[in-house]
Structure 1
Amino acid sequence: MRKQLYLLFFICSFTVFSQENTVDLNYYLPQDVTYNPNIPTPKSSLGFEVGEWHVTHDKLVTYMQTLANASDRITLENRGVTFEGRPLLLLTITAPKNHNNLESIRKNHLALTENTSSALSTNNMPVVVYQGFSIHGNEPSGSNAALAVAYYLAAAQGPKIDELLNNTVLLFDPCFNPDGLQRFAYWANTNKSKNTNPDPNDREFDEVWPGGRTNHYWFDMNRDWLPVQLPESRARIESFHKWYPNILTDHHEMGTNSSFFFQPGIPSRTHPLTPLKNQELTAEIGTFHAKALDKIGSLYYSEEDYDDFYYGKGSTFPDANGSIGILFEQASSRGHAQESDNGIITFPFTIRNQFTTALSTLEAAVAMRTKLLKYQRQFFADTRKEASGKGAIIFGDEKDASKVYHLAEILQRHQITFHELASDVSENGTTFKKGHSYIIPKQQKHYKLIEAMFEKRTKFRDSLFYDISAWTFPLAFNLPYTETASTNKIGAKVTDLQPKKPATSALSNYAYLLEWQDYYAPKALNEILQKGLRAKVGMTPFSTANKTYDYGTILIPVQNQNLSAAQLHTFLSEVSKKSNVTITAVNTGLNKGIDLGSRDFEALNRPSVAMLVGEGINSYDAGEIWHVFDQRYDMLLTKLDLKNLSRVDLSRYTDIIVPSTWGNPLGKADTEKLKEWTQNGGTLIAYKNAGRWLKNNGLMPLEFTKDKDTAKNISFEQRSNFSGAQRIGGAIFNTRLDRSHPITFGYTSNHLPVFRNTTLFVTPDENSYNNPIQYTENPLLAGYISNKNLAQLKNTVPFKKSNLGRGEILYFTDNTNFRAFWYGTNKLLMNAIFFGDIM
């Protein structure tokens, strides 16, 4: 009887809830001000109240344009477009008198970061706040709150708002991730019922793969603030360095059964380069959030979760730049309303919390204005003192101008000063050539940012990390680099960075050679093969015309091609220009070492590549592969959805990639189909957890080693920390290479730094020649790994190859394309594609 009464109560409550779900704008707005009736409300522009529907990005843009046209407090800037062509808007919101003097305000604010700032008074200087929303598209309460926040800032009237606008320049980014927000809004809106259903089992709360969290190429953009590889990131980083805001807020969502989080995070997980004062100010700002949330009765917590370690996140990147980064995490309704441990959580409720803390941030900024401005000035003064006498960093690679350029490009985006080398430098056994290397003096205002990008840290206060524990950029790029105490080889400052242009090749009636070391050599080779031209790869080094060519050199003969000698020269010249790689003409096949007609040149086939996607495939890993093919190498990649695999004719593909998997996405029939395709001559390339699928289905003999983690003297309270410390969240490890193996072609060193975030340890083959990449005896280069995992990792292998019928299976234990900035191992995948069938 009690259960029946409870059920009746629930049904009645649910019926009432369904009828009263819609709220009006007053649900969000403070009532201690009046509102200008001439400023359009969101409903007047969009046709619905904030929170009634999920706003799509196009409608969000429309409303921001409407406000900018109606209010003299707002100017609007379009800073570029996403991969899908959506605008990347930034609103500058401040008092009209500040708008009239905005450039002078900006220059005075930037002066706080310079040596000359000591004489500058902060008494009447506005504080600068950058507010950004919904970098994860399926965390939409932020961007929907932006509608109400922008209206409030445009329409509110009275002394309180005047004080705010007079003393603040607000850089307002209503949506960090337009493509993802659009994708999620479509899902939530198309699955909404007239009678809102909070049942967590409803389809509304189960997005179709890959979900709206990510951008077009399925990247988590809240990991790209430091690498700056995506157009959305480049726009916001340019805005950041244009102003150096005092506070930057990043509005997120978390699990439905949570409440509301604001920083500080767990103190022991703050990066050591971040000043203690930063965390003190973060905590002080937090008191304003607590007061505001107390007022509306919302539960919250702080200092119990998340961290400030990886500088590639929006809430942490500012901390290395004299700013205060603030993370907000709101429990998500993941739709319009959903049952939770805290009762039914509605979409308007989530929006109100985001709205409330957006305003409490601005209240804190005004109250702490001079304190924040003085902290910023002191941060850069202390940074310069800390950098004094610290020397410089040199990096470069004579054989790979493209990777050198792309690392320098990141430095330039962060306004880090760097120079040409005045002459060749030899340091620590490496020679850095003038014209092929750059030098970064540490004595500059971005010293902390430089340290964050180049350090190799292996000691930590805490063993748990919310994200990766290492991201050393020259290791990610696989570029030689060194620290030097001397700065006497500093040449001209680089102010107009440009890629180095290859020399134009002479015409040959015999052959052309393409060295494989440059990052974009695969792009050139793909274009050559797609043209239907014959090309071969050299399996052994050789020398000709006083030049040595390494393993993997590509030979393009002139004879028996579908182009004349003149046409071939013209075509290869265009390929060279577009790919920015050198293609060299040779007039004889007689060499020192193998000759050009040697059997040690293997013929190459034109690749046709597909990749499995869909439910059960890790969308991050798949998106990174897609991005590498599409954006870096201009190579076609067919995305095969698993649900359609049974109907696809696989014979048209030479290579099929299986990114990391979860669950058991490939059933028996699909597995047999891929097995048969491989046996008939295909190359199957698998990553990470897909290795277990290979092993369990007899496709590849793999032996994984794993000692069981036994908790000793660990309390119930400590159990999650214990298990978390056994993870490899993301660290960098050293491997030794057999450079004669095709999987390592293009690498000039016998060692290669690799990124790893799995505990998949593969036993090496008993034949050494089958272990072309192997972890060293002491592999840790940077980051955290437990002692037990480190002991298991050493001398294991991150790559295995085996035959299956007439085909090959290639397996990588870890992601070679991590977050678009791991340039150094992208070539491993390209080698698997172009050379997989000759291994």
Structure 2
Amino acid sequence: MRKRLAAFLFFMLVQTAFAQVPNSYYLPQNISYDPKIPTPQQYLGYQVGDWHIQHEQLLGYMKKVAELSDRVEVSEYGRTYENRQLLLLTISSPKNLANVDKIKADHHKLVEPDKSSSLDTKNMPIVVWMGYSVHGNEASGTNASVLALYYLAAAQGAEIDSILNESVILLDPRINPDGGERFSSWVNANKSNNLVSDPNSRELNEMWPGGRFNHYWFDLNRDWLYTQHPESKGRIQKFHEWKPNILTDHHEMGPNSSFFFQPGIPARTHPLTPKKNIDITELIGKFHATALDKIGSLYFTKEGYDDFYYGKGSTFPDVQGSIGILFEQASSRGHLQETQNGNMSFAFTVRNQFVTTLSTLRAAKALRQDLLDYQRSFYQEKSTSATKAFVFGGGNDKVKVWEMINILRQHEIDVFNVSKDEVLDGKTFKKGEAFVVPLSQPQYRLVQGIFEKRTTFEDSLFYDISAWSMPHCFNVPYSEAKIALTLGDKLTKNDFPKGKIIGNTTYGYVFEWDGYFAPRAAYELQKKGYKLKVSTEPFTGVFEGGTKNFSYGTVEVTFGSNQQADFAALKTLLQTLAERDGIDFYALQTGLTPSGIDLGSSYFAAMRQPKVLMLTGAGVNPNDAGEIWHLLDTRVNIPLTMSEITQVNRMSLEKYNTLILSSGDYSTLNEEKIKTWVRNGGTLITLTDAVEWAVAKGLSPVKIKTIPADTASFKPYALAERYKGAQQTSGAIFQVKLDPTHPIGYGYKDQTLSVFRDNNIYLEKIKDPYNAPLIYTNEPLVSGYVTERNKKLMKNTPSVVATSFGAGKVIVMTDNPNFRAFWYGTNKLFLNAIFFGSTILSGVRGGEED
């Protein structure tokens, strides 16, 4: 009795002081551990859970154990934006590691139907990928990975020998080092000697943007499919090298919850995922339940989370014949926190993640052959879809097609050239410009998951977005072929589509705004001191060998406008830009055109060099702001000043000509200061719910629709959450009518465009239709879920409105044109607002006359 009391008093003491726990709190007992492998405490100088591990400490321990253990190999699979290493550890028996290349090659044959039948899965090792803390402030996963490595490297006995002999374990200890370092620095710096559990404590409330995100404030857990960031590119390459049978994804959730493991809500599983995937996940879940029962931890399953969006970590494997498993641990968000379940220590959260790491490995061993056979049969199945292939390409932007192919080939999807010109659905796909992705290939489910449009669903709630169809994301022409097509050559490489200079001139050059990187080329020219003008009317240009029709938005750089510039250097610069940005520059012989405006016409409007300020900080949505930062910084090379609202309220805005308000709360922003700045010629761009601020302050004349209230007299209380959730537009694709003659529409040729929407902000029709370059069609839904009520609110209403306010312009966009960095098709709308906003002619005015 005295021993129990002493143990209880010790437990209470560590919860309120340093939270230090013995190794036995974490590690299985009654086994021995190799003394040559240092425990985490021996290496770090503190026990796991006492502090949040810094990235250099994490790297050091991983490399030290790999150096000392014949069970562990370590490799770097990438670097973050902040140049931090991303490590993957390969862990298995020494015998397996000595033969790891053959094991990998044999395992990969499971996904090759013409080779997999001959494989003897009875003796094949299973491959398990353990991924930790894709969200940097969900730190229990990363800290548990240290314990996992120690156990796998140092534990002795029959159980660990069996696991290592029958498994290859791939351990990714910190998927998001930049965010993880930001978070660990915060909580460690604000930790008190006497732990403070008050949720109001500074330690438990990170400063904006918090550690969840990577360097550019992206949620890396949404980047598994379209891989726009270095962390994802490197990880996915390794995933496809191995094609693991199980992939674990260790997360955290709100402090007042408990512990979740999959399966999630069955009705919200993507229809392309076989039911057997759910059945196996349930079997694996029994191992987690047994392990958590043993230590008395609360948990739940089949609620709260789903497996619909293939772009997140625990669902991406499900369309690869793997089993993705999401773990969600209630977060201490620091070292100790009060919760409705009592005080929760960081050590406790780490232990649950470590325990379910081990239960996953036990399940993998027990179900090894079932999992291997499932993956083999997954890839042996053939498509039963009426669609035989997806054909895409052509259009007026080769760069977007090039990036689509990059993504498809990264996922081991076979892409072919069209063998001849094809006409499908009234669209012509020309040989040499178009490509075919047949469904008669092993990755057919993933192909369907990437290309398909879906508008019917078993459930109306979604943990993430409900649509992500690639051709609509990229605004690239495509069609579904209902008959098998004769395929051309299979693509084995994908060279960037370089541009060129066409002809010679002593007069000037023009280039079209069609190409994705045209804004980057324009800014580079402006940065070098060249003055540019943009055509607001079509014209025909004369160059060596012929003429060409140029549309709205064509940019000119002429001798007449740049008499002080070094034109000998210009051609060299244009050659560099043509190759770098995939743009053709036309050397015009004369300013006199056969038709349309001449090059000296006033219908060529001066382009001002963007000097951009974006509001950041408390109240601003980091995801949406980060998308803008990433776009301007990595794709357009425009320096972006980012300042917090409090700073903007007291600083001068004179040096900026463009101000961006992304999604957020701007109630503390000095409206008179912004009005004065816009009135004096600035361009204000507001996105999604920031539109509400601009409207409320009288900067834009648009009116926001009032959403009708639910007038039902009675509804079951138990359905309230589901009903309210179903009314949200959580992420779907819609069609708008686009005006290519408007500056916001420059560079587009088609008069329809797919846009992404994840909010319920709807605008009333405006009086002057010339100021609404994008309007939803009468039947706007392309793909995804939306209620009939919301679809009705959207029909034939503006998506973008551009109006004058004094000498300036206010551009409101209800949709997000930069969503998750993969919505290439609408990036140009946003960039056009930056480059051409000041050229928009006055029409309907805001709160004042010009």
Corresponding position of 2:72: 74
The reply to whether residue 431 of structure 1 matches residue 428 of structure 2 is yes
Q: Give the 3 Å change call, closer, same or farther, for CA 20–64 of structure 1 in structure 2.
A: closer
The 3-state SS of whatever aligns with 1:84 is: coil
Instruction: Provide the residue aligned with 2:139 in structure 1.
Output: 140
Write the mapping of 1:602-751 to structure 2, written as runs, cut at 5 A: 602-662=605-665, 664-667=666-669, 670-710=670-710, 712=712, 713-751=714-752
Match of 1:36 among 28, 34, 37: 34
Check whether the contact 2:498–2:580 (CA below 8 A) recurs between aligned residues.
Answer: no
- What is the rounded CA distance, in whole Å, between the counterparts of 2:601 and 2:735 in structure 1? 34
- Partner of residue 3, structure 1: none
Measured against aligned partners, the alpha-carbon deviations of 1:694-715 in whole angstroms (never above 9, x if no partner) come to 1222222221113333163421
1:220 positional shift: 0.4
Cα deviation, 1:212-265, whole Å, max 9, x if unaligned, reads: 000000000000001111111111111110011000000000000000000000
Counterpart in the other structure of 2:822 = 821
Matched, 1:194 2:184: no
Task: Say whether residues 1:600 and 2:599 are aligned partners.
Answer: no
* Aligned residue number for residue 477 of structure 1: 474
- Conservation of the 8 A alpha-carbon contact between 1:737 and 1:773: yes
Deviates more, 1:197-206 or 1:576-585: 576-585
Which amino acid in the other structure matches residue 673 of structure 1? K
Provide Cα deviations, 1:191-210, integer angstroms capped at 9, x if missing partner: 00000010111101110000
**1:706–1:792 contact (8 Å) kept in structure 2:** no
- Paired position in structure 2 for 1:495: 492
Distance 1:493 1:754 in 2: 31
How far apart, in 2, do the equivalents of 1:187 and 1:290 lie? Answer: 33
CA contact (8 A) 1:711 1:722 kept: no
For 1:507-518, what aligned pairs fall within 5 Å after superposition?
507-518=504-515
Distance 1:394 1:624, change over 3 A: same
Give the C-alpha shift of residue 665 in structure 1. 4.3
Which 4+ runs in 1 deviate beyond 3 A?
11-17, 485-489
Pair 124,801 (structure 1): closer, same or farther in 2 beyond 3 Å: same
Structure 2 distance, partners of 1:472, 1:135, is: 24
How far off its partner does 1:547 sit? 1.9
How many Å separate the matches in 2 of 1:502 and 1:789? 44
1:420–1:494 CA contact under 8 A, matched in 2: yes
Partner of 1:583: 585
Counterpart for residue 110 of structure 2: 112
Q: Could you tell me whether the CA contact under 8 Å between 1:508 and 1:569 is conserved in 2?
A: no
CA deviation after TM superposition for structure 1 residue 540, in Å: 1.4
Match of 1:93 in 2: 91
Task: Determine the C-alpha separation between the residues in 1 that align with 2:672 and 2:428.
Answer: 52
Give the counterpart letter for 2:133 in structure 1. Answer: S
Cα deviation per residue 1:113-157 (whole Å; 9 max; x = unaligned)? Answer: 112211211011000000000000000000000010100000000
Structure 1 residue 47, shift from structure 2 partner? 1.3
Counterpart CA distance in 2 for 1:421 and 1:684 is: 45
| Partner secondary structure for residue 95 of structure 2 | helix
Q: Does the CA-based 8 Å contact 2:261-2:326 persist in structure 1?
A: yes
Deviations 1:437-465 (A, max 9, x none): 21111110000000000000000000000
Question: Counterpart of 1:528?
Answer: 525
Shift, 1:634, TM fit: 1.1
- Measure, in 1, the Cα distance between the counterparts of 2:561 and 2:263: 68
RMSD between aligned residues = 1.5
Task: Find the aligned partners of 2:217 and 2:724 in 1 and give their Cα distance.
Answer: 28
Structure 1 residue matching 2:165: 3-state secondary structure:
helix
Query: How far did residue 413 of structure 1 move?
Result: 0.9
1:463 aligns to what? 460
Could you tell me how far 1:551 is from its partner in structure 2? 1.1
Give yes or no for contact 1:507–1:566 (8 Å, CA) kept in 2. no
**Letter paired with 2:706:** K
Distance 1:20 1:486 in 2: 68
Aligned partner of residue 394 in structure 1, secondary structure: strand
Unaligned runs of 5+ in 1: 1-10
- TM-score, with normalisation over the residues of structure 2? 0.95
Q: Secondary structure at the match of 2:494?
A: coil
Q: CA deviation at 1:505?
A: 3.5
The alpha-carbon deviation at position 17 of structure 1 amounts to 3.5
Question: Partner amino acid for 1:733?
Answer: F
Q: Do the aligned partners of residues 711 and 61 (structure 1) sit closer, same or farther apart at CA in structure 2, a change above 3 Å counting?
A: farther
| Separation (CA, whole Å) in 2 of partners of 1:60 and 1:435 | 49
Equivalence for 2:202: 203
Q: How many residues get paired?
A: 824
Residue 138 to residue 711, structure 1, CA distance change in 2 (3 Å): farther
Measured in 2, the distance between the counterparts of 1:700 and 1:563 equals: 39
- In the aligned structure 1, how far is the partner of 2:234 from the partner of 2:14? 45
Equivalent residue in structure 1 for 2:414, among 390, 413, 417: 417
Shift of 1:691: 1.4
Measure, in 1, the Cα distance between the counterparts of 2:787 and 2:204: 37
| Alignment correspondent of 1:4 | none
Q: What is the deviation of 1:489?
A: 4.2
Return the alpha-carbon distance in structure 1 between the equivalents of residues 11 and 124 of structure 2: 52
Query: Is contact 1:730–1:755 with CA below 8 Å preserved after alignment?
Result: yes
Contact 2:552/2:746 (CA < 8 Å) preserved in 1? yes
Tell me which residue corresponds to 2:792: 791
Q: CA deviation at 1:729?
A: 0.4
Deviation at 1:807, TM superposition (A): 0.7
Aligned with 1:407 (options 404, 409, 417): 404
Contact persistence 1:425–1:489 (CA under 8 A): no
Distance 1:710-1:12 versus aligned 2 partners, 3 A rule: farther
Name whichever of 771-780 and 590-599 sits farther off: 590-599
Distance 1:245 1:229, change over 3 A: same
1:511: how far off? Answer: 1.6
CA offsets per residue over residues 13-54 of structure 1, 9 Å max, x none?
987742362112221001142101110111221111100000
Confirm or deny: 8 A CA contact 2:71 2:93 kept in the other structure. Answer: yes
Measured in 1, the distance between the counterparts of 2:616 and 2:735 equals 31
> 1:7 is matched with which residue?
none
Match of 1:678, as an amino acid?
V
Counterpart-to-counterpart distance in 1, 2:213 and 2:149:
24
Which amino acid in structure 1 is aligned with residue 668 of structure 2? L
Structure 2 CA distance for aligned equivalents of residues 443 and 313 of structure 1: 25
TM-score, with structure 1 as normaliser: 0.96
Instruction: Indicate the residue corresponding to 2:254 in structure 1.
Output: 255
Shift of 1:764: 2.0
Per-residue CA deviation, residues 390-419 of structure 1 (Å, 9 max, x unaligned), is 422111124201100011110011010001
**How far apart in 2 are the matches of 1:488 and 1:457?**
24
Contact 2:383 2:439 in 1 (8 A): no
Is residue 144–residue 351 contact of structure 1 (8 Å, CA) maintained in 2? yes
Structure 2 CA distance for aligned equivalents of residues 17 and 417 of structure 1: 55
In 2, Cα distance between the equivalents of 1:281 and 1:364? 10
- Counterpart pick for 1:440 among 437, 446, 453: 437
SS at match of 2:417: strand
- Equivalence map 1:287-302=2 (5 Å): 287-302=286-301
Aligned-partner residue type, residue 641 of structure 1: E
Taking the aligned partners of 1:363 and 1:809, their CA distance within structure 2 comes to: 59
